[in-house]
C-alpha cells in the first residue's frame, strides 16, 4: 500500500451523517491530448477519477460543513490509495473506511456521449465491507444514513447494507435512499427497491431513474408508483435543468434550479440530495420550499465545474441569493 493521509481528527465524537454505498474509480475514455499517442492503437486516452454515488453524497455533505463519513471498503492498490487520499481531502471520518486485500471496483466509461459503461469487480474490495468493524458507539450519534445505487445489487454487499439500513431505522436513524439507476439494475431490482423504499424517510429519484425503473408507465404514473411504496416518505424528483418536485405528505412543492453555465452534470444528482440532507440536518426550521431551493442550488453549483464537484456552502448560498 502506498503512503496515505490520515485525515481529520474526529476523536471528540462521531459524525451525524453516514453514507454507505458504492466507492469506486471511474476510468473514463476521452480524446488523447494533442501531441500524445494516447492508448496504443487508438486515438484516445484514459483518466481515473475517484467516484461512486455513495462517496459523492458523503463528499457533498462534508464540503457543505457537516461531520460526515462514507462507510465502505477499499483495496490496497493505487486506485484505492487515490480514493483514500481524496476522502481525507474531503474531510471524511476515515474510521468508517476499511482496507482489504482485494482488487478495486472499476467503472469503465468507454463512451461519454451518450454514456456507455460497464463495471469490473466480481470479487472486489467493496463487497468485503463489514459494519461490525466500524468504531464502537457510532450508531448512537447517527442522525441520517444514506443508501443507494449499485452497492445494493452487488452481493453480498447489498444484503449487508439493506440489513444495516433496517437496523439503523429501528434505532430511529433517518434513512435516505437514491436508487440512482445503473445498468446493473436491469434485472431483479424490484425486491430491493421495495425493501429500501419502505425503510426510507427521504427518497430521491431523477426523471431518468423513473423512466428506467417504471419503463411501462408515464412519469405521473411512475411517481404514483414510487410514492405508493412508502406514502410516508418525502420524495424529491429532479429533472435536470427543468423544475423539480418535492412531495411531502399531501403537499407538493415545485421549483426550477438556478440557471448556470454548465461544465458537465457529473455528480449533480448526488450534490442535490447531499444539499437537501445538509439543509434538513443543519437548519430543520426551514420551510420545505427553502429546503428544496437549497437542494437545487447545490445540484446547480456542482454543474459549474467539471467532474463530480462538491460545492461549498458559499457557492450554494450565492446561487440562492442570485
**Domain spans, the chain:** 17-31+43-321
Query: In terms of pLDDT, which residue wins out, 7 or 170?
Result: 170
pLDDT score, position 31: 60
Choice among 148-152, 205-209, 229-233, 267-271 with the minimum mean pLDDT = 267-271
The residue assigned the cell 426551514 is: 286
Q: Rounded to whole angstroms, how far apart are CA atoms 28 and 25?
A: 9
pLDDT, residue 9, reads 46
Question: Does residue 222 or residue 122 have the better pLDDT?
Answer: 222
Cα 286 off chain centre by:
23
**Residue 124: closest CA among 149, 144, 105:** 105
Confidence (pLDDT) at 25:
92
Q: What is the CATH architecture of 17-31+43-321?
A: 3-Layer(aba) Sandwich (3.40)
Q: How many whole angstroms separate alpha carbon 175 and alpha carbon 17?
A: 10
DSSP 300: H
Element at 248 (helix H, strand E):
strand 242-248
Q: Give the pLDDT confidence score for residue 43 in this predicted structure.
A: 55
Q: Is residue 248 predicted with pLDDT exceeding 60?
A: yes
Sequence-separated (6 or more) residues with CB below 8 Å from residue 12: none
238: Cβ contacts below 8 Å, ≥ 6 apart: 204, 205, 206, 207, 244, 269, 272, 296, 299
Q: pLDDT averaged over the chain? A: 89
Q: Please state the rounded mean pLDDT for residues 286-301.
A: 95
Q: Is the pLDDT of residue 154 over 80?
A: yes
Cα–Cα distance, 310 to 193 (Å, whole number)? 27
Which of 11-20, 95-104, 136-145, 218-227 is least confident? Answer: 11-20
Going by C-alpha positions, the residue among 230, 237, 232 that lies closest to residue 249 is 232
Amino acid at each position: 500500500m502506498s503512503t496515505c493521509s490520515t485525515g481529520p481528527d474526529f476523536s471528540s465524537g462521531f459524525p451525524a451523517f453516514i453514507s454507505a454505498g458504492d466507492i469506486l474509480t471511474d476510468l473514463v475514455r476521452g480524446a488523447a491530448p494533442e501531441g500524445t499517442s494516447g492508448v496504443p492503437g487508438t486515438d484516445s486516452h484514459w483518466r481515473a477519477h475517484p467516484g461512486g454515488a455513495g462517496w459523492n453524497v458523503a463528499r457533498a455533505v462534508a464540503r457543505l460543513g457537516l461531520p460526515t463519513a462514507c462507510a465502505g471498503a477499499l483495496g490496497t492498490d493505487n486506485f484505492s490509495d487515490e480514493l483514500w487520499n481524496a476522502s481525507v481531502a474531503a474531510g471524511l471520518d476515515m474510521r468508517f473506511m476499511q482496507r482489504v486485500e482485494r482488487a478495486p471496483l472499476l467503472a469503465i466509461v468507454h463512451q461519454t456521449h451518450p454514456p456507455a459503461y460497464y463495471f469490473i469487480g466480481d470479487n472486489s474490495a467493496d463487497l468485503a465491507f463489514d459494519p461490525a468493524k466500524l468504531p464502537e458507539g457510532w450508531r448512537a450519534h447517527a442522525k441520517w444514513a444514506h443508501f443507494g445505487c449499485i452497492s445494493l445489487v452487488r452481493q453480498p454487499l447489498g444484503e449487508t447494507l439493506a440489513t444495516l439500513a433496517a437496523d439503523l431505522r429501528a434505532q430511529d436513524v433517518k434513512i435516505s435512499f437514491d436508487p440512482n439507476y445503473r445498468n446493473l439494475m436491469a434485472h431483479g431490482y424490484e425486491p430491493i427497491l421495495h425493501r429500501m423504499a419502505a425503510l426510507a424517510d427521504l427518497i430521491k429519484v431523477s426523471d431518468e431513474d423513473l423512466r428506467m425503473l417504471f419503463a411501462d408507465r408515464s412519469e405521473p404514473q411512475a411517481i404514483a408508483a414510487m410514492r405508493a411504496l412508502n406514502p410516508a416518505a418525502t420524495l424529491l424528483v429532479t429533472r435536470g435543468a427543468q423544475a423539480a418536485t418535492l412531495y411531502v405528505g399531501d403537499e407538493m412543492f415545485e421549483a426550477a434550479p438556478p440557471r448556470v453555465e454548465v461544465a458537465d452534470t457529473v455528480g449533480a444528482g448526488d450534490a442535490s440530495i447531499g444539499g437537501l440532507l445538509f439543509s434538513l440536518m443543519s437548519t430543520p426550521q426551514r420551510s420545505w420550499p427553502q429546503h428544496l431551493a437549497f437542494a437545487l442550488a447545490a445540484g446547480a453549483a456542482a454543474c459549474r465545474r467539471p467532474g463530480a464537484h462538491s460545492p461549498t456552502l458559499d457557492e450554494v448560498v450565492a446561487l440562492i441569493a442570485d
